[in-house]
Amino acid sequence: MCGIVGYIGNRVAQDFLLEGLRRLEYRGYDSAGIATIEDDSIKLTKSVGRIASLAAEVAEDPSKSTLGIGHTRWATHGAATLSNAHPHLGGADTKILALAHNGVIENFAELRSQLKARGFDFKSETDTEVVAHMIAERVQHRLSESNGKPPTQDIAIEAIKETIGQLRGTFGLAIVFKQWPDAIFAARLGSPLVIGVGDGEHFLASDAQPLVGYTDRIVYLADHQVAVLKSGSLEVAHRDSGVVSHDVRTLDIESNDVDMGDYDHYMLKEIFEQPEAIRNTMRGRLSEDDATAVFGGLNLTPQDLRKVKRIVFTACGTSWHSALVGEYLIEDLAKIPVEVEYASELRYRNPPMEHDTLVFAITQSGETADTLAALREMKRKGHPTLAVCNVVGSSVAQEADGGIYLHAGPEIGVASTKAYSSQCVALTMLALYLGRIGHMSYSKGRKMISNLQELPEKIEKALGENDKIREIASRFQHCENFLYLGRHYNFPTALEGALKLKEISYIHAEGYPAAEMKHGPIALVDKNTPSVFVMPQGFIYEKVMSNLEEIKARGGPVIAIAAEGDTRIAEVADEVIYIPHVVEYLQPIVAAIPLQLLSYHIAVMRGCDVDKPRNLAKSVTVE
């Protein structure tokens, strides 16, 4: 949920730290801070609010140090205040270290009272400060016993290992010590940390984006690992054993992936990137010769997959909506029963599941704590697990038995857009693949492939309605309640449209199966409550039209997402946004485009921070 950066090398550290925090701001933006080590002292600068405020503070009293760490926070323990901002200092009388943390320490209260009993006083309400003092106490104890021997950094490493052995919960830690001004120490359990390898320099970050433009060599720290970064060396050790080897991989993110370009917001850029994003998702994965999809990373053979009698998708938020689309796709096209489970529920609901159940974790970031926990629970039960994920090397991607990478490029806007459409495309290809292992004919497979190949142009056409959608948004920007209604394949689309509006414009919006609104929600309908009907052509169109009429009969305004050429809808709906004709199983992808743009424009008109909505963060790495 929070963002961590660190730098050691030959540059002025604060420059990388501030730029890295700007790129990680989508992970949390309540408060921020940096700590550098210079002239044997810790220089700490913190601010409440955005990175721009921190940068202004730093400019008042810049640091020349070439070693430092930084943090941008999404509050878990304690409000967004200066005292709760990271990094936190550790030490009883003398402060000997600065520490930044991403994650949640579940047993922090008991540890805090033990430290208080030993004379430590706390400046914050955070669980993080507890860890800082625990490490400091162990280092100070070892230094007092060193009997004049030069204090090696093994003292720090042992103190860190001992401390993390006492913690329950998750952490990504970045630590700098006054005593060892030539090193950054890092430790990971459940919250991601990556290390950039440079020439005479090393970088630390919560994910790969801060590294772009600085290095393309990356090391993914694994759970239970501790690392020591120096300008000319990197050492990685396992908490319970010694030094381990580490793979240096190549980072496949380009600079323009993380720049906003000519767009006003990352969200708008990512909405318009969707045609290219889904081309990348499909690239090399559609086999016309065999009329099927091809995946290189499922790690399950057709023989294995033929034995699968049920599939469980587990996810959160927008990924849960794409999972619902996947349920319709796979049941319709591959005739395999599918269950969709909220990850936070699946972990504890403990549903009876047969041994021939295949579990998919669907997650853009690959770091959502609830989804990771559900995946681990399914693995613990012995089920084969696969991931549909957008971030290479993320925790879910590493821990699943295999999976499908989206290749949609970094998604920085907190509201998921291109990842959603890419997830739906990946699940459509999965339905094709499973269908062709089953009973789907060659000709139907070829038809699916050509429908998928036409999809980017269909999305481009839907994007062409942007100006009209902006006009419609202006007419409804002041409404405080919306209903989103759709059926069959477009029931998940209605849910996704409602979530987009909620999370970036703060307007209350509910998604429902269109027919369901008669069983209660229709009571909400009045002239100030617009209903957005997702109703492109299909076998269920007439039924949805009846639901629309029921809303109109009660004075509710209607915005319809309809197939181009549908003149009848224009006679009943107050506003119509047309989308190109596509087969029903691709409608969720094309129909999502106007819903994304509608929510974007309303949010902008309401003065909301579209890319960093209040209370939210891009990757929810706490449960």
Per CB under 6 A, contacts with ligand AGP among 136-195 are none
Alpha helices in 4-124 (DSSP H): 13-24, 51-60, 108-117
Nearest CA-CA partner of 470 in 336, 597, 342: 597
How many residues touch ligand AGP under the rule CB under 6 A: the total is 15
Closest residue (Cβ) to ligand AGP?
317
CB of 526 to ligand AGP, least distance (A): 28
Max distance between CA atoms of the chain, in angstroms, equals: 89
CB of 482 to ligand AGP, least distance (A): 16
From 37, 85, 98, 414, residue interacting with ligand AGP (rule: CB under 6 A): 414
Residues assigned a catalytic role: 2, 618
Closer by beta carbon to ligand AGP, 131 or else 205: 205
Closer by beta carbon to ligand AGP, 35 or else 595: 595
Nearest CA-CA partner of 423 in 330, 320, 503, 271: 320
The SS3 assignment for 555 reads: coil
How far is it, in rounded angstroms, from Cα 416 to Cα 364?
8
Closer by beta carbon to ligand AGP, 263 or else 541: 263
Q: Which stretch binds ligand AGP (CB under 6 A): 62-70, 75-83, 118-126, 411-419?
A: 411-419
x/- string (CB under 6 A) for ligand AGP, residues 220-249? ------------------------------
CB of 586 to ligand AGP, least distance (A): 21
Length of the chain: 623
Q: Which helix (H) or strand (E) holds 493?
A: helix 491-505
Q: Which stretch binds ligand AGP (CB under 6 A): 280-288, 409-417, 507-515, 557-565?
A: 409-417
CB of 428 to ligand AGP, least distance (A): 18
Per CB under 6 A, contacts with ligand AGP among 346-405 are 363-365, 368, 371
HSE-up of residue 552 (Cα within 13 Å, Cβ side): 17
Peptide bond into 87 cis (omega under 30): yes
The SS3 assignment for 481 reads: strand
Backbone angles phi, psi at 91, to 5 degrees: 140, 150
Strands 357-363 and 310-315: parallel
Tokens encoding 236: 């990685």
CB of 484 to ligand AGP, least distance (A): 14
CB of 371 to ligand AGP, least distance (A): 5
When asked if residue 318 is in the footprint of ligand AGP (CB under 6 A), the reply is: yes
Per CB under 6 A, contacts with ligand AGP among 502-541 are 503
From 8, 227, 415, 522, residue interacting with ligand AGP (rule: CB under 6 A): 415
CB of 387 to ligand AGP, least distance (A): 10
x/- string (CB under 6 A) for ligand AGP, residues 485-504? ------------------x-
Q: How far is CA 506 from CA 187, 420, 502, 573, 589, in A?
A: 37, 20, 5, 25, 24
From 47, 72, 319, 428, residue interacting with ligand AGP (rule: CB under 6 A): 319
Contacts 24+ apart (CB under 8 A), 590-593: 590/455, 590/458, 590/459, 590/462, 590/536, 591/486, 591/490, 591/493, 591/534, 591/536, 591/561, 592/417, 592/420, 592/421, 592/424, 592/493, 592/496, 592/497, 593/271, 593/274, 593/421, 593/459, 593/462, 593/463
Alpha helices in 145-204 (DSSP H): 154-164
Name, in order, each residue with C-beta under 8 angstroms of 398's C-beta and a sequence gap of 6 or more.
Answer: 220, 222
Closer by beta carbon to ligand AGP, 573 or else 589: 589
A 10 A CB-CB count for 388 gives 29
The single-letter code of the amino acid at 380 is R
Q: Which residues pair with 533 in a beta bridge?
A: 485, 560
Closer by beta carbon to ligand AGP, 66 or else 368: 368
CB of 322 to ligand AGP, least distance (A): 9
Q: Which stretch binds ligand AGP (CB under 6 A): 179-187, 311-319, 436-444, 566-574?
A: 311-319
From 63, 66, 292, 416, residue interacting with ligand AGP (rule: CB under 6 A): 416
x/- string (CB under 6 A) for ligand AGP, residues 552-571? --------------------
Residues found near ligand AGP in the complex (CB under 6 A) = 316-319, 363-365, 368, 371, 414-416, 503, 619-620
